[in-house]
Chains A and B, each alone.
Chain A
Amino acid sequence: MAARAPETLSYGQIREDLFRPLSPFNSKWIFTCLAAFVFVVLGLVAWGFQLHDGMGITGLKRPIFWGFYVIDFVFWIGISHAGTLISAILRLTDAQWRKPITRAAEAITVFALMIGGLFPIIHLGRAWLFYWLIPVPNGRLLWPNFRSPLVWDLTAILTYVTGSVIYLYLPLIPDVAQLAKVNQTWRKKIYRLLSLGWSGSDTEWHALERAMKLMACVILAVAISVHTIVAWDFAMAISPMWHSTIFGPYFVVGAIFSGIAALMVVMSVIRRVMHLERYLTWRHFNNLALLLLLMSLLWLYFTASEHLTVWYGNEPSEMGVFGARVRGPYAPYFWAMVILNFVVPFILLGIRKLRTFTTATIASVCVLIGMWLERYLIVVATLGNPRLSSAHAVYAPTWIELAITAATFAAMVLLYMIFAKMFPIIAVWEFKPHPHEDD
Chain B
Amino acid sequence: MNTSHSRLRKAKENILLGLCVVALIMTMVPLFSILLSILANGGSAIDLAFLTELPKAVGETGGGIANAIQGTMILVALASLIGVPVGLISGIYLSEYKSNRLAWVIRFFSDVLTEFPSIVIGIFAYTVIVLYIRSFSALAGAVALAVIMIPIVTRTTEEAVRLVPNDLREAGIALGLPRWKTIVRIVVPAGRSGIVTGVMLSVARATGETAPLLLTAFNSFYGFSGLLKPIASMPMYIFIFSISPFPDWRAKAWGAALILMLMILALSIVVRYATRGRYTTRI
Chain A bound to chain B: no
